């Protein structure tokens, strides 16, 4: 995973971050620690499902996994490669449908939603539709899928993505999924459920939250080897940092063993 740095710093910083684990593994472990036992999470494939599987095998054995295509509460014995993979309904509580899952979120039964993004702005709004002008984009992306429903209706949205100035932008090229839109109270004024919204953003540089008063993104923890200058150099907007920012907890040996030997032994994601 690349980190865009001022000239001459890439090699040094990457070697500091790598250690006995990769930056990808650190992101997965950091995201998994955000999930609580006896809660529900709507996950997709890739990093989100690895984070959720790791949480279930460590500190949150009663975490309820929900997949967009309809699998609710499966016992994942293998890594799903799509949200409709048969693994997502293995020994599940229910094999439902996409509209059932989204109606669960609409009724307030989904605590966490996991999303990725091509772009994110200071208020946690995300773009997964186009890069550039909509009519003639430089890149045409997959679009919303269920992302708008997840970001609009789940109580807490977690975004996991790469961190650079092309992705952390002051203004989105296209608004696919609403965050706090433009400040406090705007989500609710637009008709979205009170108390929902972006919760955390996990990148290869750190873990970020949102200020309760301004609803703008702020730094919570920085990964080992990452400093304030590195975050500023890779963020396209001003991001507040307190005086005493702690380091993100490192992956434990057991977490790494679970990831490499049980959750993703074929390296479909982590390699």
Q: Which residues are catalytic?
A: 68
Q: Which two tokens stand for residue 166?
A: 């092309």
DSSP secondary structure of 133-189: -SSSEEEE----TTHHHHHHHSSEEEEE---STTTB-SS-SS--B-SSTTSTTHHHH
CB-CB contact of 68 with 44 (8 Å): yes
- Burial state string for 193-204 with b = 16 or more CB within 10 A and e = fewer than 16: eeebbbbbbbbb
Separation between Cα atoms, residue 260 and residue 185, nearest integer Å: 43
Q: What letter does residue 38 receive in the DSSP assignment? A: T
């Amino acid at each position: 995973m690349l980190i865009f740095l001022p000239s001459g710093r890439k090699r040094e910083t990457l070697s500091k971050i790598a250690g006995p684990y990769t930056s990808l593994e650190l992101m997965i472990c950091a995201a998994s620690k955000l999930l609580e036992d006896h809660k529900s999470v709507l996950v997709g494939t890739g990093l989100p499902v690895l984070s959720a599987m790791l949480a279930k095998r460590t500190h949150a054995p009663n975490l309820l996994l929900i997949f967009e295509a309809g699998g609710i509460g499966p016992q994942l014995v293998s890594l799903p490669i799509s949200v409709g993979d048969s693994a997502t309904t293995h020994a599940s509580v229910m094999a439902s449908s996409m509209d059932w899952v989204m109606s669960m979120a609409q009724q307030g039964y989904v605590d966490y939603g996991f999303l990725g993004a091509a772009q994110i702005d200071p208020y946690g709004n995300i773009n997964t539709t186009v890069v550039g002008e909509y009519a003639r984009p430089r890149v045409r992306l997959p679009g919303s899928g269920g992302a708008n429903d997840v970001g609009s209706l789940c109580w807490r949205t977690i975004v996991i993505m790469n961190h650079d100035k092309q992705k952390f932008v002051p203004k989105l090229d296209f608004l696919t999924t609403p965050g706090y839109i433009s400040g406090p109270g705007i989500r609710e004024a637009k008709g979205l459920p009170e108390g929902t919204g972006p919760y955390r953003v996990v990148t290869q540089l750190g873990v970020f939250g949102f200020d309760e008063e301004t609803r703008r993104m702020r730094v919570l923890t920085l990964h080992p080897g990452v400093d304030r200058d590195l975050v500023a150099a890779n963020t396209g907007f001003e991001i507040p940092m307190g005086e005493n920012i702690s380091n993100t907890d490192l992956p434990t040996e057991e977490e790494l063993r679970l990831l490499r030997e049980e959750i993703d032994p074929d390296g479909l994601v982590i390699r």
